[in-house]
Amino acid sequence: MFIAGFPAGSWGTNCYVVATEPGAECVVVDPGQNAAAGVDELIREHKLKPVAVLLTHGHIDHMWSVTPVAGTYDATAWIHPADRHLLTDPMAGISRESAQMLLGGKYEFTEPDDVRELGDGNVLEIAGLEITVDHAPGHTEGSVAFRTPYDAQDIAEVMFSGDLLFAGSIGRTDLPGGNHAQMLQSLQDKVLPLADNIVVLPGHGQQTTIGHERATNPYLQDLIAARDVHQAKRGL
């Protein structure tokens, strides 16, 4: 499998290009601010053909370049319906700090020509990849993670976690559409059951693994401790 990524724009959002191998069709995950040039460089260098753009959620730092990237390569954009409105109105999900960063600029955002909606448990077969969708609200109402099998003996899957899970932390929940209780439930339901040998490629920062986060991430450790106490009280 071929996976390449780079941090894009002022927010340093990780954009990923994924294919079965160089020279094949590919998907682009989270093309953020000024990501189009980086995507084009990877496409040319590795002779790839983008056929889909996958968005983990609708925040501006993850979808800024979705329309130019999808339009350039005639690719389909995929997003959860709860975040679809952010494609045309990203300011609805923005923080005060981000608004100040953009102050004075003239920005227009439109939907790509071909937009399709994601659902929990969907399995997308795109570019020769099998991609499982996990709806994981909390950071936004329509946040999702994408998982795909990886062809290495010691790695079961690769997970593109967006702003659900970071190395040592989780996504913030204080923005419009955020909900901390939902975030904790998503971590409980969608992250903790996963195998330790899944590599996590997050929306920001360095890669990690489910096993490492289970052992060191304070948010996951708190959930595990609460679960253990609950089970002990029930005599399980």
Diameter over CA atoms, the chain: 60
Report the pLDDT value the prediction gives residue 174, as an integer from 0 to 100. 93
Q: Which two tokens stand for residue 55?
A: 């968005």
pLDDT digits (tens, 9 = 90+) for 102-142: 656 667 889 999 999 999 999 999 999 999 999 999 999 99
| CATH number, position 144 | 3.60.15.10
- Number of independent structural domains in the chain: 1
Report the pLDDT value the prediction gives residue 101, as an integer from 0 to 100. 65
List C-alpha distances in Å: 116 to 80, 112, 113, 158, 187.
8, 10, 10, 23, 25
pLDDT digits (tens, 9 = 90+) for 18-60: 999 999 999 999 999 999 999 999 999 999 999 999 999 999 9
Q: pLDDT above 70 covers what percent of the chain?
A: 95
Report the pLDDT value the prediction gives residue 96, as an integer from 0 to 100. 66
Q: Which two tokens stand for residue 200?
A: 């996590």
Q: Which residues, other chains included, contact 84 with Cβ-Cβ below 8 Å and sequence gap of 6+? A: 58, 111, 115, 117, 142
Structural domain including 7 reads: 2-233
